[in-house]
Structure 1
Amino acid sequence: MSPAEAKPKSGRARRDELRSHLLAIVEEHLRAGRSFADLGVAELATEAGISRSTFYAYFIDKANLLRAWYADSTDVILRAAREWWRLDGSATRSDVRAALEGIVRSFQSHPQLIAATHEAVGYDREVRHVVESAMRLYIEGLQAHIEHGQATGFVDPSLPPAETAYWLQWMAERGLQQLGRAKPAVGTARLIDAYAAIVWNTLYAEPRRSSPGAENGANHPRPTD
């Protein structure tokens, strides 16, 4: 008997236990090069030590595993993103980089599942809804940060807030998604450097050009991976 069925449970606790066990199996296959679309319910159920009927008793379909996981991960990523959106006019380039690093590291905890979720967007309407809902939260949060920064003078006032937030957020989402497909040729620290440079120069650099020395931390040391 598998660990997943060793101690019978009921309700949400049982479902959560099974989901974690099944997602661990999915991740193992994804790391080995399989695609989520190629994994069948029968295969996953067999490896988890449960029957197909037990699987369907708890999950509508296999994509339900990704939908529930992504919804939970959104909370983790939002907490990291809010550290960025809390920054004000006193923030240095190093502060911005540190905040963005927190977002990248949140994505990196389960990169294969991130990539699989975005693949499922193309064929599963409910997965697409979950991802698009999360993106709306990210974009709205960044837009509010931009508008606050423009009102208080530390974000470039010429930028259209909604459109800038849209571009920056989808650019980051796509880039971070790619981290789940293969280890990048350059180190993660350099990718964070590039991300921070794009954000800094887009949002914060222009208001500081007329204030010598305000771009504090521009030549911060780059940590290793």
Structure 2
Amino acid sequence: MPHFAAVLFDLDGTLLDTAPDLGAAVNHVLDTHAMPRLPDAVIRRIASDGALGLLKAGFGEEQLAQMDTPELRQALLDYYAAHLYEGTRPYPGMVEFIASLNQAAIPWGIVTNKPAFLTEPLMAQVDELPHCGVIVSADTLPQRKPHPAPLLYACAQLGVEPTACLYVGDHIRDIEAGRAAGMQTAIAGWGYLDPLENSAHWGADLQFADVSSLHAWWSQL
């Protein structure tokens, strides 16, 4: 029998590589203001910081403070919402790992700080990852990660105990939320980790360089 009753994933930078479409959205806004585009390496480093983080990187905090930031943010989100699944794809090995969970009847789900108006239409297009048991978005509850409530809610929806759940994410808030919920936690080393930040200090139980390593470890349980 598997050691875990369920697996929960962060979305951006863990389950899906969404940086191509997030980057296209911020670069669209930069284009409209005749600003230099952000390179892919920068986008991947700050993708977890959301629309505001991308805009700060593109315009600089000083210039952004002099602009209509809500309007720029809405322009970014509007473009992104219209192009959710163009460059975005599951990470290499994720299709196979999810298939193995489905075959073993291990429920899996998503707990993300992405708002539902983006999360739900995005996942509706990801046919390669079927049978997602629960999606908890930033606005599903009053709290969001690093608060443990979204993870506890996901477990309740799946009918599993938090202590029997593994949470996989690529940001310190994922690990903090998972630990606070009483789950075992794993760092998605393939995600949007800041190279200047030492993830070894996050307190996770596990860390994997790629999805194949996670899958191989899971197969030995």
User: Greater share of helix residues, 1 or 2?
Assistant: 1
TM-score, normalising length from structure 2?
0.30
TM-score, normalising length from structure 1?
0.30
Rg (Cα) greater in structure: 1
Instruction: Identify the structure with bigger relative contact order (alpha carbons < 8 Å, sequence gap 6+).
Output: 2
User: Greater share of strand residues, 1 or 2?
Assistant: 2
